[in-house]
Structure 1
Amino acid sequence: MPRTSQAVIARAKDAPVELVTISVPDPGPGEAVVRVQASGVCHTDLHYKLGGIGEDFPYLLGHEAAGIVEEVGEGVTDVAPGDYVVLNWRAVCGDCRACNRGRPWYCFNTHNAAQKMTIADGEGAGTELSPALGIGAFTEFTLVAAGQCTKVDPAAAPEVAGLLGCGVMAGIGAAINTGNVGRGDSVAVIGCGGVGAAAVAGARLAGAATIIAVDLDERKLAKATELGATHTVNAGEGDVVEAIRALTDGNGADVVIDAVGRPETWKQAFYARDLAGTVVLVGVPTPDMQVPELPLLDVFGRGGSLKSSWYGDCLPSRDFPLLIDLFLQGRLPLDAFVTETVGIGDVEAAFDKMHGGDVLRSVVVL
């Protein structure tokens, strides 16, 4: 029998979110229903609400989630009812050109549930919902592709484990997977919100010797220091590029991670890296943003790599269990990213706190 569930939706562009009852279908072939236990409030959810990602309203918000598999559909063998899982939004297909070349983290045909959840009653009853990043986790139950469920150690609390579903994984992966940060490297992270702070933690985990956190907000710089930054730069107090060079013997950092995703910060990252250094763009730009003018000779002459990081270039089946194990061993402070826990009716207020820079991450506990 289809389930009904309380859920947070964005009905129209920039309208306040609403708590409604939705209908969640029984899982079909390759699908799973998950009872959500916790879901982080991410900037991506706010982008959906503001219309910055698409116009397929109404959106079922939420995607950084952990919970318990309730039911699986035909042909599902990797997870079973009762499994504790973190949800991911890149369920690899196993058969596209990237997967067949042994690079599944670049999968070009990731899976989502084929069926749609709908508004159950009231205004717009029967309207199909677009789940954020194919998940939609601000709800008691959600329907996903079974490949979006990654089993992890249940000893990790859901409000912590779920953060790997997006922002924390994106930041850690930007440093370790995309940036290939190694022991003794120098790293600069521009923008120290949730993703940037995670990139700092990832650089520390990888053994970087110098980790420079850059932000306008002293509160975020303080948190970055707690997570492993060796130096901080307030971007409002001088030239960011020169500050990073001054902290790296005048050379620039081996890896510079742009966790903001604006033309100005990307250009700073480009010039703040050492010769043959690496720039990693993990902050998500809006569609109107353009790469700033750069002399082509500078692109050639500085060498190195200019990379974008999709979801931290992660492979959930590999990375989620590993990072949870590191957390449980006390080697990765995932719990430091949880500023507060809130109820399902508090998402709009959590967006306000996020916009004001008052939290690293609010987490909805169901």
Structure 2
Amino acid sequence: MPHEVRAVIAMKKDAPAEVQTVLVPDPGPGEVLVSVQACGVCHTDLHYREGAVGDGFPFLLGHEAAGVVEAVGEGVADPRPGDFVVLAWRAPCGSCRSCRRGRPWYCFDSQNAARPMTLPDSTPLTPALGIGAFAEKTLVAAGQAVRVDPAARPEAAGLVGCGVMAGYGAAVHTGGVGGGDTVAVIGCGGVGDAAIAAASLAGARKVIAVDIDDAKLDTATQFGATHCVNSRGTDPVAEVRRLTGGNGADLVIEAVGRPETYQQGFAMRDLAGTLVLAGVPSPDVTVELPLLEVFSRGGALKSSWYGDCLPSRDFPLLIDLYLSGKLDLGAFVTETIALDEVETAFERMLRGKVLRSVVVL
């Protein structure tokens, strides 16, 4: 029998998100039913509501979540009912060309639940990033539900499922940050602050936070930034170069997704430095770079897909870092809210008033 739950739906482009009744089926083969305990309000959910991630309306929003497995389908040995899990929007298939080459973090056929969640009139819903967790229960592929230590607070643990993993992985996996490196992070939201925390944990010599908001820069220091640059009134390229002895940073992480900040990141690298794009651009933007500079400066220009993570490996690690006091996931949580406050949380996010609002069920 389907489970009737309350959930946050985007019915059509740019319409306010609304709480509706949703029908969630029992899990089929390879699927698990998760009772959601907490779900972060991520900018990607707003992109779905705005129609910037396709036209598969109505969307069941929410994806940055933690909860408890309620039931499993045929053939599922892991996780088990009662397990505390963080939900991942990448679940490597094990058989695509990337998985077969030993690169499951690039899986090209990530698994999702096959059975649809629907409105009461049988209208199928498109779950955000294959999860749909602004809901009391959700249905996902077993590989999307990653077991972690149940001692973690759900509202903190769920953030590992997207923003924290994206920023941490951009620094550690994509950027390859190492001890003694100099690092600049452009954009000090959730992803940028996670990258700052990762660089600090990795032993970077200098971690330079760049933003246009002094309040965000103050927060960045809590995550390990050693220097802050407000680019509203200062040339960030010149200042990063000054702070690195005139050389530029070994690693620059662009966590905004705008052409002008990407160009700044390109220019503030040291010779043979690496630029990682972790911010999600809107579909209509392009960037121009002098090709001779691309050639002559060397190094690497990379894009970070979900922090190039392997959820089954990385989620438990980040939770362990949190529980040992080395990664303050709780500091990312600005406020906890109810399901019917998601639309208001979008507004606060756009005004830059929160690092993360988290729905607690």
In the alignment, structure 1 residue 50 sits paired with structure 2 residue 50: yes
1:210 to 206, 213, 237: 206
For 2:141 and 2:231, locate their aligned partners in 1 and report how far apart those are by CA, in whole Å.
42
- The match for 1:325 is 320
SS in 1 for 2:198: helix
Structure-1-length-normalised TM-score:
0.98
For 1:199 and 1:346, locate their aligned partners in 2 and report how far apart those are by CA, in whole Å.
28
- The match for 1:272 is 268
- The match for 2:331 is 336
For 2:118 and 2:44, locate their aligned partners in 1 and report how far apart those are by CA, in whole Å.
21
For 1:88 and 1:173, locate their aligned partners in 2 and report how far apart those are by CA, in whole Å.
14
Structural mapping, 1:210-229, within 5 Å: 210-229=206-225
SS in 1 for 2:217: helix
For 1:61 and 1:22, locate their aligned partners in 2 and report how far apart those are by CA, in whole Å.
12
SS in 2 for 1:35: strand
Alignment-mate amino acid for residue 363 of structure 1: V
SS in 2 for 1:224: helix
2:137 to 131, 136, 141: 141
- The match for 1:89 is 89
In the alignment, structure 1 residue 168 sits paired with structure 2 residue 164: yes
Structure 1 stretches (4+) deviating beyond 3 angstroms?
none
- Count of residues paired in the alignment: 361
Cα distance, 1:47 vs structure 2: 0.6
For 2:212 and 2:290, locate their aligned partners in 1 and report how far apart those are by CA, in whole Å.
28
- The match for 1:187 is 183
For 2:281 and 2:39, locate their aligned partners in 1 and report how far apart those are by CA, in whole Å.
23
- The match for 1:158 is 154
Cα distance, 1:10 vs structure 2: 0.5
After superposition, what is the alpha-carbon deviation per residue over 1:191-224, rounded to whole angstroms, capped at 9, x for unaligned?
A: 0111111111111111111000000111110110
SS in 2 for 1:118: coil
After superposition, what is the alpha-carbon deviation per residue over 1:316-364, rounded to whole angstroms, capped at 9, x for unaligned?
A: 0100001111111111111110001001111011111101111100000
For 2:324 and 2:138, locate their aligned partners in 1 and report how far apart those are by CA, in whole Å.
31
- The match for 2:104 is 104
Structural mapping, 1:220-259, within 5 Å: 220-259=216-255
Cα distance, 1:227 vs structure 2: 0.7
For 2:286 and 2:244, locate their aligned partners in 1 and report how far apart those are by CA, in whole Å.
29
Alignment-mate amino acid for residue 61 of structure 1: L
Alignment-mate amino acid for residue 252 of structure 1: G
For 1:226 and 1:164, locate their aligned partners in 2 and report how far apart those are by CA, in whole Å.
18
Alignment-mate amino acid for residue 139 of structure 1: A
Cα distance, 1:291 vs structure 2: 2.1
For 1:138 and 1:54, locate their aligned partners in 2 and report how far apart those are by CA, in whole Å.
19
Structure 2 alignment gaps of length 5 or more: none
SS in 2 for 1:119: coil
Cα distance, 1:113 vs structure 2: 0.7
For 2:115 and 2:63, locate their aligned partners in 1 and report how far apart those are by CA, in whole Å.
17
Cα distance, 1:52 vs structure 2: 1.1
Structure 1 alignment gaps of length 5 or more: none
Alignment-mate amino acid for residue 155 of structure 2: E
- The match for 2:346 is 351
SS in 1 for 2:29: coil
Alignment-mate amino acid for residue 252 of structure 2: V
SS in 2 for 1:142: strand
Identity of aligned residues (%): 68
Alignment-mate amino acid for residue 326 of structure 1: L
Cα distance, 1:78 vs structure 2: 1.6
2:306 to 291, 304, 311: 311
For 2:277 and 2:151, locate their aligned partners in 1 and report how far apart those are by CA, in whole Å.
33
- The match for 2:360 is 365
For 1:218 and 1:127, locate their aligned partners in 2 and report how far apart those are by CA, in whole Å.
46
CA RMSD of aligned residues (A): 0.7
For 1:275 and 1:11, locate their aligned partners in 2 and report how far apart those are by CA, in whole Å.
49
After superposition, what is the alpha-carbon deviation per residue over 1:27-79, rounded to whole angstroms, capped at 9, x for unaligned?
A: 11111110000000000001111111111111000000000001111111121
Alignment-mate amino acid for residue 84 of structure 2: Y
For 2:188 and 2:52, locate their aligned partners in 1 and report how far apart those are by CA, in whole Å.
21
